[in-house]
Amino acid sequence: MPINMSDLKQRFQERQYKLTPQRQIVLQAFVDHPEKHLSAEDVHNILRQQSSEIGLATVYRTLELLSDMDVLQKMDFGDGRSRYEINEENSEHHHHHLICLSCGKVKEFEDDLLETLENVIARKSNFKIVDHQVKFYGYCDECQNKCAD
């Protein structure tokens, strides 16, 4: 269960934020599109298509707010816009992103090995790590077959 609704309500209350319909439908867009990395415009389009009118500025403000609350995670794939995905709170299992340099698709890869690395870093450089983001660039299965680049 990715999102706990009652817990969410509480986290809004704590900060005296209001749980408006706009904020709910933005979050719903991410629930409806798992494994996607939606940009602000993506979210805006999804909501317009389902006749849930919302201003683009509100989308931006909501994405920032949800990121600050650690409900979403902001990320960058080098395509000139920020993208977001739901932040799994049981962050026991991290996943990494495999970005294909040929077709641009982004795949995910489950892995926990980085915990080890985090510990090494914490010890060696006295840096208290709270999160990480890993991107691998390469060529996906399909593109490798198309042409041996």
Partner DNA sequence: CTTAGTGCAAAACCTTTGCAACTCT
Partner DNA sequence: AGAGTTGCAAAGGTTTTGCACTAAG
- Of residues 73-132, which lie at the interface with DNA (CB under 7 A)? 80-82
Write down how long the chain is.
149
Q: Considering the rule CB under 7 A, would residue 149 count as an interface residue with DNA?
A: no
Q: Judged by CB under 8 A, how many residues of this single chain contact a copy of itself?
A: 36
89 contact choice in DNA, a copy of itself, none (CB below 5 to 8 Å, kind-dependent): none
Q: State residue 48 phi and psi, 5-degree precision.
A: -65, -40
Question: x/- site string to a copy of itself, residues 66 to 95, per CB under 8 A?
Answer: --------x-x-x-----------------
Among 36, 45, 95, 118, binds a copy of itself (CB under 8 A): 118
Report the greatest alpha carbon distance in the chain. 56
- Nearest distance from residue 92's CB to DNA, in Å? 29
Specify whether the CB–CB gap between 44 and 54 falls below 8 A.
Answer: yes
Please select the residue that binds a copy of itself; options are 6, 16, 49, 125, rule is CB under 8 A. Answer: 125
* Whole-angstrom distance, CA of residue 54 vs CA of residue 122: 43
* Helix pair 21-32, 56-68: axis angle to 10 deg: 80
Part of the chain binding DNA (CB under 7 A), chosen from 19-27, 29-37, 115-123, 137-145: 19-27
Q: Is 48 in the site for DNA (CB under 7 A)?
A: no
* Closest distance of CB 106 from a copy of itself, Å: 11
**Is residue 117 part of the contact set for a copy of itself (CB under 8 A)?**
yes
Distance of CA 50 to the CA centre of its chain: 22
Contacts of residue 102, Cβ cutoff 8 Å, sequence gap at least 6: 139, 140, 143, 146, 149
- The answer to whether 97 and 136 have CB atoms below 8 angstroms apart is yes
Task: Examine residue 60 and tell whether it contacts DNA (CB under 7 A).
Answer: yes
